[in-house]
Amino acid sequence: MASKNALGHIADATAIAVWGGVVARRLVGQRSMFAVVELEPNTAVPEHRHPHEQLGLVLTGGGRFRVGHEVMDVSPGSTWNIPPDIPHEFTVGPEGAVVIDVFTPNREDWEGLPQAQDRPPRWP
């Protein structure tokens, strides 16, 4: 579902539990989705793929990211560009991470995910 207002604040977005140790707050448009994703220290996001294009940016923390056969230790300012259906995984470092992910089209599979424990965002 698209966001109702043109303007808002990410802290007002409902937090959802995407994976164990991974919480996202999102802004959903008609054809794309923007998410601020908080990852707990040493969390492993297992290899997966999806039909969405995914662009991302590390805001804080970091870890090791693999996209296809390319592997990189990521830190604030690191980016990714994942075409549809390419396998990827992320192992978060000991300080955790906060990243921005942008998906096209919207991640409709996130619609049924459970609400995460209510807490203020770690960013901004």
Q: Residue 124: what pLDDT?
A: 81
Contact 54, 101 (CB under 8 A): yes
Q: Which two tokens stand for residue 32?
A: 């794309």
Average pLDDT score over residue span 113-118: 93
Domains of the chain by range and CATH? Answer: 23-110 (2.60.120.10)
pLDDT digits (tens, 9 = 90+) for 15-44: 999 999 999 999 999 999 999 999 999 999
The pLDDT value recorded for residue 28 is: 95
Predicted confidence (pLDDT) per residue in 48-72, tens digit: 999 999 999 999 999 999 999 999 9
> What is 19-69 written as a DSSP string?
ETTEEEEEEE-SS-EEEEEEE-TT-EEEEE--SSEEEEEEEEEEEEEEETT
* Mean pLDDT of all residues belonging to the chain: 95
Q: pLDDT value at position 62?
A: 98
Mean pLDDT of 86-107: 98
When pLDDT is cut at 50, 70 and 90, the band that residue 91 belongs to is very high
Q: Which run of H or of E encompasses 49?
A: none
